[in-house]
């Protein structure tokens, strides 16, 4: 959608069109969703968000999530331009992010079910390790269409786990009644990883004068800094 609209209506109106699309879809979502439990009727306190960080397990999970998010979104942001730099056509490269997102659908469902049997922390360790391995072993040396596409599929599956399992990990560390506040605290903390990850990746790529090996190594290393546990 974005690729086709920019040449026709320009970047500004393309972003507005995407924003209006999100607005419409999220309006439907907010009007149709309902809570399984009645919401608590109590005033909000900042300490409710800060208190989880006094717990060592939660703080380690927050740090692990922060580091995962530093490198976790770099493939989404750079795989298209890296594919084009490796000789992939612009038309085919534009499908790489949709491929990643499509594969992540399965990565959000299957690992969550496996987490019920093997523990959500253990599943997260395996799949974040898997994401790091394929980044360094597959994306780093990739110089043709096939390995880049295969990487997009495999990384999409692994990255989907991050989005679906982290809330379950938060739930394991506290009461279900506190899940909203604790999840909000964790995502507020780890969001800074998303914020700084892409500028750092871009600076590394620029310092290599257009090369991508440093950025890919950076991505793989930060995918190994993951939350651990037994649950």
* pLDDT at res. 36: 75
Q: Check the CA dihedral 185-77-157-222 and report its sign.
A: negative
**Is 69 part of any domain?**
yes
Range of the domain at 198: 48-223
Q: The domain spanning residue 73 has which CATH number? A: 1.20.1250.20
Rounded to an integer, what distance in angstroms lies between the CA atom of residue 56 and that of residue 210? 41
43 in a structural domain: no
Residue with tokens 């040449």: 7
The dihedral formed by the CA atoms of 8, 12, 18 and 23, expressed in degrees to the nearest 10: -140
Which tokens is 96 given? 């790489």
Residue 15 and residue 86 in one domain: no
Q: Is residue 228 in a domain?
A: no
Q: What is the pLDDT along the chain (231 residues), one digit of tens a residue?
A: 777 888 889 888 999 999 999 999 999 999 998 877 776 676 767 777 788 899 999 999 999 999 989 988 999 999 999 999 999 998 899 899 999 999 999 999 999 889 889 999 999 999 999 999 999 999 999 989 999 999 999 999 999 988 889 889 999 998 887 888 899 999 999 999 999 999 999 999 999 888 899 999 999 887 665 555 445
User: Do 69 and 1 share a structural domain?
Assistant: no
Residue 94 and residue 2 share a domain: no
Give pLDDT, residue 79.
94
Task: Note whether 80 and 115 are same-domain residues.
Answer: yes
Residues 52, 119, single domain; the answer is yes
One domain, residues 26 and 72: no
60 with 26, same domain: the answer is no
pLDDT for 157 equals 94
- Nearest partner of 166 among 123, 114, 210, judged by Cα: 123
pLDDT, position 143 = 87
Name the domain count of the chain: 2
- pTM of this structure: 0.82
pLDDT at 221: 82
Cβ atoms of residues 68 and 192 within 8 Å: no
């Amino acid at each position: 959608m974005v690729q086709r609209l920019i040449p026709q209506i320009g970047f500004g109106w393309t972003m507005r069109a995407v924003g209006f699309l999100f607005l419409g879809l999220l309006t439907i979502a907010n009007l149709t969703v309902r809570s399984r439990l009645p919401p608590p009727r109590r005033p909000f306190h900042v300490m409710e968000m800060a208190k989880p960080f006094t717990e060592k397990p939660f703080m380690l999970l927050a740090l692990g999530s922060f580091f995962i998010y530093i490198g976790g979104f770099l493939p989404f942001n750079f795989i298209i331009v890296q594919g084009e730099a490796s000789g992939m056509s612009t038309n085919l490269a534009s499908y790489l992010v949709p491929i990643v997102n499509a594969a992540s659908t399965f990565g959000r469902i299957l690992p969550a079910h496996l987490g019920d049997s093997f523990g959500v922390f253990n599943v997260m360790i395996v799949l974040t390790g898997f994401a790091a391995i394929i980044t360094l072993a597959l994306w780093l040396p990739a110089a043709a269409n096939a390995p880049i596409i295969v990487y997009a599929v495999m990384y999409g599956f692994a990255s989907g786990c991050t989005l679906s399992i982290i809330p379950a990990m938060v739930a394991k560390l506290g009461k279900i009644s506190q899940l909203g506040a604790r999840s909000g605290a964790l995502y507020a903390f780890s969001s800074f990883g998303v914020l700084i990850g892409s500028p750092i990746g871009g600076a590394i790529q620029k310092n290599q004068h257009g090369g991508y090996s440093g950025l890919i190594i950076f991505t793989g290393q930060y995918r190994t800094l993951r939350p651990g546990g037994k649950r």
